[in-house]
Amino acid sequence: MKNDPLRSVAPDAALRSEPLLVASDLTKQYGAVHALDGASFTCLKGEVLALVGENGAGKSTVSRILAGATGVSSGTITFEGEPFAATSISEARRRGVACAFQELALVPDWTISENLILPDRRGRGMFSQNKARDESDRILSALDVTHLNPSTVVGDLGLADRQMVEIVRAISANPRLLILDEASSALNPIGVEWLFARIRDLTADGVGVIYVSHRLGEISEIADRGTVLRDGASVADFTRGSWSEDDLVSQMAGRTARRHFPEKPPVPKADEKLALEVKGLRAEGLSSIDLTARHGEIVGIGGLQGQGQTELLRCLYGAAPAVADLWQIDGKPARHLTPPRAVRRGVGFVPEDRKTEGLALTLSVGENLLAPWLKSLSPGGPLQLRSEGSWIDGVLNKLSVRTRGANEPVGDLSGGNQQKIVFGRWIDRDRSILLLHDPTRGIDVRAKQELYQAMLELAESGVAIVWFSTELEELVNLCHRVAVLDRGRVARVLEGSEITPDAIVGAAVGTA
């Protein structure tokens, strides 16, 4: 009988000495590019194995191979003692391997119940919506996901809820090996607690879990063992308690490194001109928001997921309708704001989902960098990248983007390098305000540090930054002020030494 993820039994210590999956000397080539070049690791029954490495190290490639989404060029994989080479995601799921993908594999136009039930029912006769809703209700309830309606269209959900549905879909396959590829990247702390509870239920029942994440604090909490990948190869193994975050960063980077935050720029003077001022901002999901940001100031937006942070940033960029008693950009009224008008007024925006909102994946790196200015740069004909070549090269160098050049399709880049492109389009572009929606989500430690440095340089140049982050450490260590949202209102504004993890969480849940 298959393991049931909705049931938890006492863990058997003997399980964690029995190999579940063994991968040996895996290679994967895409033309001349080696995505994997000798990756080897073992996952035991009932354990959490972490795969860590910088963007482009091969972690997502491993996940896709095990999940049946792509093949391996060479090397061997055994699962439960038998050779394993799934040629499709459905075949891998039938054999007991399921994956929650970093780039969500959901169908946006389908409901939650259709996404949970349909993929595993193809070819089994007629599909019943009522039965699918009932089954989805059972799955969601048993996995403690009570806030989602199975009849909701997935495309109408926020990114965090979409990611939760992706995780639920993988668990609902009753896998004996579950792969979580950056599965927590859009989740807030409460969402991560939910995920860890599900992982502990599964491992107690003998299920192996491969956990891919750039959040080293999470790995130290949930992983039993781990393997470090660098340039597609396995370079180190570690066990719980035998490593520090600095050790991991050094192994990932291949050099001595420290995981730290740069020193934030000085607090802007009280008489520094306001770049942004809104009073009584109202919109769907928002109720009378007051917010200011001075030139050179980094204003964090905190709070539990779904309290209006996404709506606030979209309204400030003109991507969603809103009204306000007062709304000024650089002291001048902001009326009938739209994204093109916001760009002309000096506002930049890094959206929540780089794939669907931030990038045109079939266009080149250079075209994506210049996307906000396409009309002004090429009013009567095709975009000429050559005229902006020096600026493009400067951005790519400043952010250390790993690319074959400005003409490479941006869809060919790793997730971290794609995120750098979304951010990099606003560098040296005469911005007054930069709105950031969790810009370091799902990127590695070194890429985070590069983005932190670029953000601080923008602030030092006088750009006001309004930054929503799901990582408390970022808000604490890099922001001058933090506005904590609760139910579409600013519950509290923290400044200076008041900005602590406890104060942010307390304001978010109404205890401070």
Using the predicted structure, report yes or no on whether residue 380 has a pLDDT greater than 60. no
CA distance 107 to 316: 29
Token digits for 258? 């420290």
CA distance 458 to 453: 9
CA distance 399 to 478: 18
Same fold? 13-109+175-253, 274-509:
yes
Given a contact cutoff of 8 angstroms between Cβ atoms, the answer to whether 432 and 464 are in contact is: yes
What is the average pLDDT across 404-408?
89
What confidence tens digit (pLDDT) does each residue in 41-64 have?
Answer: 999 999 999 998 876 788 989 999
CA distance 381 to 505: 51
Given a contact cutoff of 8 angstroms between Cβ atoms, the answer to whether 228 and 53 are in contact is: yes
CA distance 468 to 457: 18
What confidence tens digit (pLDDT) does each residue in 329-344 have?
Answer: 999 999 889 999 999 9
Strands 347-350 and 433-437: parallel
Given a contact cutoff of 8 angstroms between Cβ atoms, the answer to whether 252 and 445 are in contact is: yes
Using the predicted structure, report yes or no on whether residue 13 has a pLDDT greater than 60. no
CA 476 to chain centre: 19
Domain 274-509: give its CATH architecture: 3-Layer(aba) Sandwich (3.40)
CA distance 500 to 465: 19
Q: Spell out the domain ranges in the chain.
A: 13-109+175-253, 274-509
Percent of the chain exceeding pLDDT 70 equals 90
Given a contact cutoff of 8 angstroms between Cβ atoms, the answer to whether 498 and 331 are in contact is: no
Strands 97-100 and 481-486: unpaired
DSSP string covering 446-489? HHHHHHHHHHHHHHHTT-EEEEE-S-HHHHHHH-SEEEEEETTE
Taking the model in full, what pTM does it have? 0.66
**Residue 394: φ, ψ to 5°:** -65, -40
Using the predicted structure, report yes or no on whether residue 253 has a pLDDT greater than 80. no
What is the average pLDDT across 349-355?
88
Hey, which CATH number is domain 13-109+175-253, 3.10.450.50, 3.40.1360.10, 3.40.50.300, 2.30.130.10?
Answer: 3.40.50.300
DSSP single-letter state for residue 318: T
Most confident of 24-38, 79-93, 257-271: 79-93
CA distance 457 to 462: 9
Burial class (CB in 10 A: 0-12, 13-18, 19+), 228: buried
CB 300: neighbour CB atoms within 10 A?
25
Using the predicted structure, report yes or no on whether residue 328 has a pLDDT greater than 90. yes
